[in-house]
A and B are shown apart, each in its own frame.
Chain A
């Protein structure tokens, strides 16, 4: 096998699954691939897809405000779309409320869209909604590559969202240093605070795993259990809502034709890719994952490398937490990032990264995350209840895992081989 095909072999099965899914959508889902270029100001002139009469869908997963305007500012339609969108019934109410607020704000032209034009359609929306899992998957891939696992990312997301929402509400009220910068700029403070705090959470995980030598699953379990409590403590058990344009822009704004969150993912992917493929860091991670003791004897600071991957993972969880909070314009400590650690791990494993550590594929993880989100969105568009979506999701996960399992391949191959041998004898 030549070099190129080896390099991309891990991507084959996820891409095949994704292609099958897209093919299914192309054939059976109306307007799935319809992408429109929209202009910020002439939004009313263009009729949104979900509002048209011939569309079979009650509502699709969009975040763009045009949806609601075209639907005649109907609050019901907004709630409908939002509940399809959010997946969790608990989030639906806050979602709908959040997005209704989004409409006047964008009309005011609070710098929500750069250049005024952006793409608009289901595939774009899949990217936007999948951005959280994609960001998480980048950090998770590095951690899993060292042979570890971080199951606390969901709780860290909740913490990041909580501290950001708390600080922004304090800044809005003016009782926090930095409020003099004005709402157009001071959102940087909560963003920075959230990222620092989530990095500290990652540092804590790294300390337990690399510093004290506790097995990763157990060490991160501590923060997973306690983290949501901490987030509740930060927000005092309340759901804090905010409408700061800067913070809302993260997951609801557009830049350079695409949702801004997509650019965040791209930036983080490029940085992570450069860090791991253009410096020795990636090699060190793989060597630690392969054999920690051997790499330590080879002069690699194995502990420090592991520690660092957990900090990066915490940072990524912080970014994802900000995206999640920005998406629904509030910090919900109970539901933010709930079960997302599982999605992130699934995306990583689907992407070909071995749970045993030692090899990792960032691009594969991103494809895995997109696959999961495409599956989810497809289900919603087929009117499947968000709760039931889990069933096919689980089956896809098992099938992809089986296809990637060397044991399964060997067994299937041996069955074919024995059949072929029998046929030959006859």
Chain B
């Protein structure tokens, strides 16, 4: 008789979910009102842009690559939209242009990485500098988005009211929709499965006839799109654009992916986990804000330690599963 065994590959994501609930529980025990649904919803509202960016990063990391241009693309997109609206352009056109630029930029990065086998780290690093500088070319100062019909419409009409004082804002709905699409894409489509195959062993994937180049470029394109979309969400969230925004956000995104149970070497992990990675980051910040006594730089240290803990756990799991496959 076969004994039920918890599959090894679900361990990291279960640990992430566990960490989330433990942190949440600590919050509820320590502070009044921490468990109120408003706090929980705010968690989504404040981190929707990060969540969308993390989806792209997670897919890229699953292929075994890395994308460092996330934060810069968000800043560039938000300032571009703000500038275009300020100069009298329709907001929808501005958003469309921003998304197209994000897609093209991601595609360019993927093309450079694949066609000239340049290290992803370097290409996206240069991309990060490049697009950040482009943001400063658009405007060196923060630009507010005022009295725009589209943005007002999004805020006033596209909000679902769940109860008294509880509003599901458009950006949260957008995040959840993108997340669901990304989960289905990574688990149920041919391209999505190819991403896992490439991340696991690129040479083997090539030999199996998987279109490695196409998939890799597609992944970086998706990442570019996600970052640009995150920039749009950021512009909606702040109602302003600033080329200085989101410096170092790429590291938060990578941390969220790692905490979300994805192996940085690629091939192992779930896009779904990134949701909890983002929520854990948000929860830690909320906890520190609630406390009010702890200095905010503890966030960095705690996040660093969490990342370390997850890395150790994943290493352990990799070792165990390797020794198991040897004994068979």
Contacts and interface: CB of A to CB of B under 8 A. Distances in A.
- Asked if A and B are interacting partners, one says yes
Interface of A: 149, 208, 212-215, 217-219, 221-230, 232-233, 237, 338, 342, 345-346, 349, 355, 385, 387-391, 393-395, 397-398, 401-402, 405, 407-408, 411
A411 B118 CA distance: 14
Contacts, number: 125
Interface in B229-270: 243, 247, 251, 254-255, 258, 264-265
Interface string B301-318: 101110110011001000
22 contacts: A212-B312, A215-B265, A217-B66, A217-B121, A221-B254, A225-B304, A227-B304, A229-B297, A229-B304, A232-B295, A237-B295, A345-B125, A385-B140, A387-B140, A390-B136, A393-B129, A393-B133, A394-B133, A398-B112, A398-B123, A402-B118, A407-B117
B221 to A, nearest CB: 18
B297 A225 contact: no
A226 B129 contact: no
Interface of B: 66, 112, 115-119, 121-123, 125-130, 132-134, 136-137, 140, 243, 247, 251, 254-255, 258, 264-265, 295, 297-301, 303-305, 307-308, 311-312, 315
B125 A342 contact: yes
B307 A225 contact: yes
Nearest to B66: A217
Contacts of A407: 115-117
B129 A394 contact: yes
Residue of A222, A227, A232, A395 most packed against chain B (CB within 10 A): A222
Contact of A229 (B125, B264, B301): B301
A-B pairs with the 9 shortest C-beta distances?
A: A226-B304, A229-B300, A391-B133, A390-B133, A387-B136, A394-B130, A232-B297, A229-B301, A394-B129
Contact of A233 (B125, B126, B301): B301
Given A391-B134, A407-B116, A228 B297 contact: yes
Contacts of A230: 301
A333 to B, nearest CB: 8
A224 B121 CA distance: 16
Nearest to B251: A225
A390 B129 contact: yes
A214 B140 contact: no
B220 to A, nearest CB: 15
B297 A233 contact: yes
A233 B302 CA distance: 13
